[in-house]
Amino acid sequence: MLKIEHLTKKYKSIVAVDDISFTLNQGNIVGLLGPNGAGKSTTIKTIVGLLRKTNGSITVGGYSNTSREAKKKFTYVPEVPELYDMLTVWEHLKFIGYAYNVANFEEKAERLIERYDLWDKKDKLAKELSKGMKQKVSICCGLLPEPDLYLFDEPMIGLDPKSIRETKLIFKELSKQQKTVLISTHLLDSIENLCQRVLVMKKGEIIVDMAMEEMKSKLGNNENVSLEELFLEVTKDE
Q: What is the closest distance, in whole angstroms, from the C-beta atom of residue 223 to ligand ADP in the complex?
A: 29
Of the residues 1, 4, 24, 38, which one makes contact with ligand ADP according to CB under 6 A: 38
- Indicate whether 41 belongs to the interface with Mg ion (CB under 5 A): yes
Residue 16 makes contact with ligand ADP by CB under 6 A: yes
Rounded Cα gap, residues 148 and 122, in angstroms: 27
Number of residues that bind ligand ADP (CB under 6 A): 11
User: CA-to-CA distance for 135 and 79, rounded, in angstroms?
Assistant: 9
Closest Cα partner for 23 from 11, 45, 6, 8?
6
Query: Is the CB of residue 80 less than 8 Å from the CB of residue 142?
Result: no
**Which stretch in 11-19, 34-42, 97-105, 139-147 sits in contact with Mg ion by CB under 5 A?**
34-42
Half-sphere exposure of 238 (CA within 13 A, CB side): 1
Longest CA pairwise span in the chain (Å):
54
43 binds Mg ion (CB under 5 A): no
Residue whose CB is less far from Mg ion, 38 or 83: 38
Q: Read off the amino acid at residue 177.
A: Q
Q: Is 86 in the site for ligand ADP (CB under 6 A)?
A: no
Nearer to Mg ion by C-beta: 40 or 115?
40
Which of 40, 108, 134, 216 contacts ligand ADP by CB under 6 A?
40
